[in-house]
Structure 1
């Protein structure tokens, strides 16, 4: 038996929450703000709306990542029927922290009134929420009773409303139509409390050895500031070709790990790069009967938040026993991640 095959500690999702800032921004408004053809946005990404924590006209930040993560965490605690003061740890995953120090994780803990507990911040892309859940499982195995997993991203540092699309290389322009801001959260426990959604298996594998990154997000201080430096770059062609293949590998590995057949899966949570890419992935997988749970068409690509937002939507659609697979691909340096989920008893109505 390899370490990857060893028995894992129990992990249950007791409650989830989502935070999306402001009103949804449709493609017409986005196209007008950035000087991008609305029809091209519709055809290229297929996403209808997204949310931004900053003003499209002025660039003024109105919702920080800490704001969104704290709001999502409150919703998750309410859904779980848990007082945040009873939580034993906090793990936060993001690509875009508000600042390098203090960490956004500690800012969120402070806003939630938490103190004297371990906090962790994971620097990651779209797979960060799964990484955070993996760390949470280890903390529960070490004796903690329950904790909070939060994940989110914001775009204010990288999308400049003053830039003309004519000035942007294609590898950077694509990000102006893909991304939105948001956060998701989950209260986790070792016992099947609350919603009683059990994580039957959790997959997290680095798969990028010798492979060029599909996305680069740069970061520099004032000493090395270079006005011409490209801070956000995506090889969309490599992502478009690679993600469906990796999603298929994740799907098969999750099924094998829990001994399910495709017909045992009631819900599928596919990768959420864009609405168009999600359609391509689900067609590639050909899952026989599973209902799709997606959010990207309405939220845009919210990075680390996506898997937790999907989980939040899943719980509203899973009132009875059922099984689900969540597939997550991080294309920055190619990470395969995912969850096999099962509700073992019907959800009890809230008083």
Structure 2
């Protein structure tokens, strides 16, 4: 059986970061208020001259170093982002050029915070269809560019960053690599989390708007239900999971989903205090941190899940 296996992981965070205390000097908030409600302590902020493609490029370079590959061993690059460098071309082709990759193809996917899971599904499908042998999947966003820094309910939540995995085509038993992925969306909830404008609306200066309590409620229900569904579909138990890796939006959401699934918080990966919500980058960023710290190990069974604007969400089962 042909399947896809994660063989390399990398990430990148801008050097500059903004602590809660620093943020409280410009908006009506405090470290206590932010920490209590979100678990976030700081967020990395890209400088004006650093773009999404720059973050994505560094994450990919780090992933290539991790697996000891040169760029031309890649057949494709997918970048999940909601903050592209330009309206077109795709940010992915800029990354392709940045690393000196002269073959293959590159394109973007937009599913906001669920973007990495969506991109993972597309990459897995390409590998199983034998269209490619090796593909980079990158989640990268500079959310600081679309945050309303006067809105304390949203500006405290987001940060910038990029994470990358390299997938390789393998043959063998189905109990390795990416075991399953399931995607969902429901457009009736569009206005719960959105940027209030866009190109066809002739409004390119819009900012993030969020109905926080509604997003929280749907995030807990939809991520926990989708994880239960995919685990049961694969004839596994929640207790078989070594790790739970959720979109890093809010520590209270992570805790609520873990409790709903009856998973001990020791198994819940969390970097939200250090990274804040980096949108499509959050899952690969957190995974890279835990792999580099030797917490997550080869052979571990991990449930991934994310939800973002749309609402769009999805879950995946992987054995690292």
TM-score by length of 1: 0.82
Pairing 1:43–2:36 present: yes
Unaligned runs of 5+ in 1: 1-7, 55-60, 344-351
Pairing 1:126–2:113 present: yes
Q: Give the Å deviation of 1:223.
A: 9.2
1:216 — aligned with what?
194
Q: Distance in 2 between matches of 1:33 and 1:85?
A: 46
Q: Give the Å deviation of 1:33.
A: 3.5
Pairing 1:239–2:215 present: yes
Contact 1:52 1:180 in 2 (8 A): yes
Q: Give the Å deviation of 1:197.
A: 6.5
Deviations 1:80-123, CA, capped at 9 Å, x for gaps? 22111110011111011111122211111100101231111112
Greater shift, 217-226 or 94-103, is seen at 217-226
Greater shift, 112-121 or 134-143, is seen at 134-143
Select 1:336's aligned residue among 274, 299, 313: 313
Unaligned runs of 5+ in 2: none
1:147-166 mapped onto 2 (5 Å cutoff) = 147-159=135-147, 165=150
Q: 1:290 to 1:263 in 2, by over 3 A?
A: farther
Contact 1:68 1:183 in 2 (8 A): yes
Select 1:281's aligned residue among 257, 267, 286: 257
**Whose Rg is larger?**
1
1:88-127 mapped onto 2 (5 Å cutoff) = 88-127=75-114
Contact 1:151 1:308 in 2 (8 A): yes
Pairing 1:199–2:181 present: no
Greater shift, 31-40 or 67-76, is seen at 31-40
Q: Give the Å deviation of 1:218.
A: 3.6
- Equivalenced residue count is 315
Q: Give the Å deviation of 1:192.
A: 7.4
Q: Distance in 2 between matches of 1:43 and 1:256?
A: 34
Q: 1:19 to 1:291 in 2, by over 3 A?
A: same
Pairing 1:321–2:293 present: no
Q: Distance in 1 between matches of 2:307 and 2:201?
A: 34
Q: Distance in 2 between matches of 1:213 and 1:192?
A: 43
Deviations 1:28-60, CA, capped at 9 Å, x for gaps? 012224353333222222201110003xxxxxx
Select 2:124's aligned residue among 125, 134, 137: 137
Q: Give the Å deviation of 1:311.
A: 2.5
Higher strand share: 2
Greater shift, 260-269 or 296-305, is seen at 260-269
Q: Give the Å deviation of 1:273.
A: 1.5
Q: Give the Å deviation of 1:271.
A: 3.1
Q: Secondary structure at the match of 2:136?
A: strand
Contact 1:266 1:289 in 2 (8 A): no
Contact 2:243 2:268 in 1 (8 A): yes
Deviations 1:222-252, CA, capped at 9 Å, x for gaps? 99459xx853200101011111111221121
TM-score by length of 2: 0.90
Contact 2:162 2:281 in 1 (8 A): yes
Contact 1:12 1:192 in 2 (8 A): no
Contact 2:219 2:307 in 1 (8 A): yes
Q: Distance in 1 between matches of 2:42 and 2:275?
A: 6
Select 1:21's aligned residue among 11, 14, 18: 14
1:69 — aligned with what?
56
Q: 1:283 to 1:34 in 2, by over 3 A?
A: same
Q: Distance in 1 between matches of 2:218 and 2:203?
A: 32
Contact 2:146 2:206 in 1 (8 A): no
Q: Distance in 2 between matches of 1:148 and 1:72?
A: 10
1:5 — aligned with what?
none
